[in-house]
Chain A
Amino acid sequence: MKRALVVVEAADHVDVHPTEGSKEITKLAGELAAGVGAELVIMHVTTEQDYQDRHRQLSSMEELDVEYDVDTAARGARQFAANVANEVLADIDVEVTPVGRLGEITEKVYSVAEEFECDHLFITGRRRSPAGKAIFGDVAQSLILNFEGPVTVTTA
């Protein structure tokens, strides 16, 4: 492992709080990377849907005069990734590059992995169905099957 890619998710639609699983996988990846002198790329993707919703909400508050465009959204996603890293990796000596993207998650994960030459993927895979069964979302299934290198999945 030279450079690992960690995908972090928000527990809400406004990219404020990371999921517990995201913090857990970031910590694990950080410890493993520190152990072997590898670097981490921590990325967050804001989906088109969340972007549109936020854009609509902010535009309706004219008096605020805020500008929320695709660049703001990508910067926000990057900030979210950076916040997770700061919160979780404060005590771990590892080099971290936060990355934010706007769009479709799987597509962005592959493009970032290629751009930063990441050789290991860390994701929070498993969720719980209403009855409590372990299930994987479409994104996790696709990444697990198609990423070229090893994939580490937390099963919280």
Chain B
Amino acid sequence: MNNAREYPSTDAGPFPAPPATIEDRAGRTVELELATTETLDGLVEMYDAFDPAQRAQGIPPSDPERIKPWVATILDGGVHVIARHDQSVSGHAMLVPDGGGAFELAIFVLQSYQGAGIGRQLLEHLLGAGEAASVERIWLTVERWNTPAMELYRSVGFETVRADRFDLEMAMSIQ
């Protein structure tokens, strides 16, 4: 995106890789696994059920008809880890190639599964899957007022690289 971005000089990790079975704080058994093209429908179903009020920076798209094309586009490359409970997808974390050798990270957890520790597990296993796929540089943007998300990102090794803007940028290095 922007070659002026600086990445932390020390690598974070190592991180656990999927597949894994975890129990969330609500006692639900959740499978963390790599997404495949067969996951497309399950992901579309999850994003259809996503509370529009919790959209961030325009994703998932508000128009239901745009959800499937969006999911199909991002699934086309990169690294994707999903959380699955009772046969349905409850979370999705992704590393999407930015065309400049680095990857953008994004993560979504369905409302009814939030606050149970799934986000952190999903994030750590995504980074583990990223290590296995030789991903080295990762960045993300987060709305500046989204403190819980920023705290989570910081705790796994992200550093704020640009704060003088309204979509704050964080970056990390792994491997």
Whether the complex brings A and B within 8 Å at their CB atoms is answered: yes
Instruction: List residues of chain A with CB under 8 Å of any chain B CB.
Output: 128-138, 141
> Do A132 and B167 touch across chains, with their CB atoms under 8 A apart?
no
List the A side residues contacting B103 at CB < 8 Å. 130
Instruction: List residues of chain B with CB under 8 Å of any chain A CB.
Output: 1-2, 56-59, 61, 70, 73-74, 94, 96-99, 103-106, 141, 165-167
> Do A130 and B99 touch across chains, with their CB atoms under 8 A apart?
yes
Cβ 8 A contact of B106, one of A133, A134, A136, A137: A133
Interface centre among B97, B103, B104 (most CB of A within 10 A): B104
Question: Across the A-B interface, how many residue pairs have beta carbons closer than 8 Å?
Answer: 51
Cβ 8 A contact of B59, one of A133, A136, A137, A138: A133
Which chain A residue has the least Cβ–Cβ distance from B69?
A132
> Do B98 and A130 touch across chains, with their CB atoms under 8 A apart?
yes
> Do B57 and A135 touch across chains, with their CB atoms under 8 A apart?
yes
Known contacts A136-B166, A136-B167, A141-B165: A130-B97 contact under CB 8 Å: yes
Interface centre among A131, A136, A141 (most CB of B within 10 A): A131
CB A36 to nearest CB in B, in angstroms, measures: 30
Identify 29 residue pairs between A and B in the complex whose beta-carbon atoms are under 8 Å apart, listed by A's number. A128-B58, A129-B96, A129-B141, A130-B74, A130-B97, A130-B98, A130-B99, A130-B103, A131-B59, A131-B104, A131-B105, A131-B106, A132-B58, A132-B59, A132-B73, A133-B57, A133-B58, A133-B59, A133-B104, A133-B167, A134-B57, A134-B167, A135-B167, A136-B165, A136-B167, A137-B2, A138-B2, A138-B165, A141-B165
List the B side residues contacting A132 at CB < 8 Å. 58-59, 61, 70, 73-74
Which chain B residue has the least Cβ–Cβ distance from A140?
B165
List the B side residues contacting A128 at CB < 8 Å. 58
Cβ 8 A contact of B58, one of A134, A137, A138, A141: A134
